[in-house]
Amino acid sequence: MGIRIFNTLSKKKEIFKPVKTNQVGIYVCGVTVYDDCHLGHARAAVVFDIVRRYFEFSGYDVNFICNFTDVDDKIISRAARLNVSISELTNKYIKQFYEDMDALGVKRANQSPRATDHIEQMVEMISVLIDKGLAYSSDGDVYFDVAKFEGYGKLSNRNIEELETGHRIEPGKNKRNSLDFSLWKSSKDGEPYWKSPWGSGRPGWHIECSAMSSKYLGESFDIHGGGEDLVFPHHENEIAQSEGCFENNWVNYWMHNGFVRINHEKMSKSKGNFFTLKKIYETFHPELVRFFILGTHYRNPIDFSYEVMSDASKGLDRLYNLLLKLNTTSNEKNEDLFSLVEKYTKDFGELFREAMNDDFNTARALGYFFDYSKKINAILNNEKKIVSEDAALLVKEQFRIVGEVLGLFSHKPDEWFKLRKNVDLSADEDRGLTPEEIERLIEVRNQARNDKDYELADKIRDELGDSGILVEDSSDGTIWKIIR
């Protein structure tokens, strides 16, 4: 059947057909770099990272572009307030962006263009639009004439009259129409500026993405993505100016991820329910954050809470725990067991692809993966937690494939439980034990076992258990994890 994508433009799922055979061009609107990244940025980044990864897994050559907006009213205002240069401010937050996204396992884009490096391309596009009568200059500003573009509103599925009354309108004293949007803004005192045929100034927000995407992907490409909040006005305006300039079908598939909610309310600084990634990482491991994001289909809203994250943590731990069990294997062959594992693995592989082919449904794919893991765990329990090495390798390979596509299981299981424990313990002060104290008790227990003092070893294990710490011994050594 192939990969099906829900196209915001057509409002339905469509079979993906690339502009160029076996190649995919993807442009995703990046961040405006004036502040720390938050959970909404993480969701968009993870969603389109999955899209990219699955296309690559499916044999496509992917050219993935994600920009930085590094000139903007908010950037100018923040830099002035902090008394730093704009480049100092934007460089700081670009660096922070990479740190946050690297921690999430988001692959870096093939190109990460900055708006300020592409002013020439923007000026060229604006000039073409003026020559075609689709834009006009007024006292150093340039606006796109919305009334001149047939089909304006087709992405947001609203006509011009509805848009005029139902959305915030960009201000401008010399506009012909209230919906006309800025392509070029004349410079004000103290603001950065560039030379142009219409005077010194800087580009409008919307023209930036049109110029950068066309430079790196051409005048017609496959997928343009971003958050649901970008449908109007940003992406609607991008379509108007790009198709007006190039006179073709600019983008074939428009993809938008849903909002992030905090305890059932839309995340908002004004409501005080705004979480930066740096703050979230203090409590939850970044891979757990990624796992949580993947548990909801990308087009649906996602609800963040400590309770939900706790449930997600238990789920990811179960998968890592299965990986840990697979480290203990038998050299004896068991053809019947291997055939059963092989069947379960083949069946899951087909279901996994079916889910991902259906508009990148990671939630369903993870559901199938938990079912598969449950079956493997049942085999392990029947075999007293030991399977043949060839069967274990088959399951481990399936974990590797799923991890490659979903960006999970980047740690060895014993490492995972050591990494995540510090995070979870810091969120639970009533546990009464620090990670260092637990490690010290485990060292004492290991020495007791070496000395054959099993009474002391069992006593320490039971005391840790009373504190909600499960101790497990394996061929890789002793690990511990939080069970409540």
Strand partners, 227: 257
Q: Is the pLDDT of residue 424 over 60?
A: no
Mean residue pLDDT across the chain: 90
The whole model's pTM is what? Answer: 0.87
Q: Is the pLDDT of residue 286 over 60?
A: yes
pLDDT value of residue 428: 45
* Mean pLDDT in residue range 339-345: 96
CB 277 within 8 Å of CB 39: yes
Residue position matching structure tokens 């007791």: 448
pLDDT value of residue 114: 98
**Do you know the residue count of the chain?**
484
**Higher confidence at residue 358 or residue 170?**
358
CB 146 within 8 Å of CB 172: no
- Terminal C-alpha separation, the chain: 44
Long-range contacts of 164-169 (CB under 8 A, 24+ apart): 167/232, 167/233
* Mean pLDDT in residue range 110-120: 97
Predicted confidence band at 483 (pLDDT cuts at 50, 70, 90)? low
3-state secondary structure 269-318: CCCCCCCEHHHHHCCCCHHHHHHHHHCCCCCCCEEECHHHHHHHHHHHHH
Q: How far are the Cα atoms of 125, 127, 196, 207, 253 from residue 120, in angstroms, in the given order?
A: 9, 11, 9, 12, 27
Contacts of 88 (CB under 8 A, 6+ apart): 79
Q: What is the pLDDT of residues 1-34, one digit of tens each?
A: 799 999 999 999 999 999 999 999 999 999 999 9
Which helix H or strand E contains 134, and what residues bound it?
none
Which residue, among 29, 52, 57, has the nearest Cα to 107 in the 3D structure? 52
Q: Is the pLDDT of residue 434 over 80?
A: no
Q: Is the pLDDT of residue 110 over 90?
A: yes
Distance CA(283)–CA(294), nearest Å, equals: 19
Least confident window among 98-107, 108-117, 359-368, 426-435: 426-435
Least confident window among 193-197, 217-221, 305-309, 467-471: 467-471
Distance CA(348)–CA(373), nearest Å, equals: 10
Which residue, among 213, 153, 205, has the nearest Cα to 183 in the 3D structure? 205
pLDDT value of residue 307: 84
Range list of H helices, 132-274: 160-166, 205-217, 236-246
* Mean pLDDT in residue range 39-48: 97
pLDDT value of residue 20: 97
Distance CA(465)–CA(482), nearest Å, equals: 9
CB 144 within 8 Å of CB 241: yes
CB 38 within 8 Å of CB 276: yes
Which residue, among 144, 145, 140, 143, has the nearest Cα to 198 in the 3D structure? 140
* Mean pLDDT in residue range 439-466: 80
Predicted confidence band at 70 (pLDDT cuts at 50, 70, 90)? very high
* Mean pLDDT in residue range 395-411: 97
CB atoms within 10 A of CB 272: 7
Number of H helices and E strands in the chain, helices first, is 16, 17
Q: Is the pLDDT of residue 91 over 90?
A: yes
pLDDT value of residue 376: 95
Distance CA(322)–CA(16), nearest Å, equals: 35
Distance CA(239)–CA(174), nearest Å, equals: 23
Predicted confidence band at 427 (pLDDT cuts at 50, 70, 90)? very low
Residue position matching structure tokens 């954050």: 289
Predicted confidence band at 425 (pLDDT cuts at 50, 70, 90)? very low
Q: What is the pLDDT of residues 177-187, one digit of tens each?
A: 889 999 999 98
pLDDT value of residue 334: 85
Which residue, among 154, 67, 66, has the nearest Cα to 115 in the 3D structure? 67
Q: How large is the greatest C-alpha to C-alpha distance in the chain, in angstroms?
A: 89
pLDDT value of residue 170: 63
Q: What is the pLDDT of residues 202-241, one digit of tens each?
A: 999 999 999 999 999 999 999 999 999 999 999 999 999 9
pLDDT value of residue 382: 82
pLDDT value of residue 429: 44
CB 409 within 8 Å of CB 398: no
Residue position matching structure tokens 């979480």: 275
Give me the amino acid identity at 428.
D
Q: Is 294 exposed, middle or buried (0-12, 13-18, 19+ CB in 10 A)?
A: buried
Residue position matching structure tokens 């009213």: 73
Least confident window among 42-56, 237-251, 384-398: 384-398
pLDDT value of residue 59: 97
Give me the amino acid identity at 300.
N
Q: Is the pLDDT of residue 482 over 70?
A: no
CB atoms within 10 A of CB 195: 10
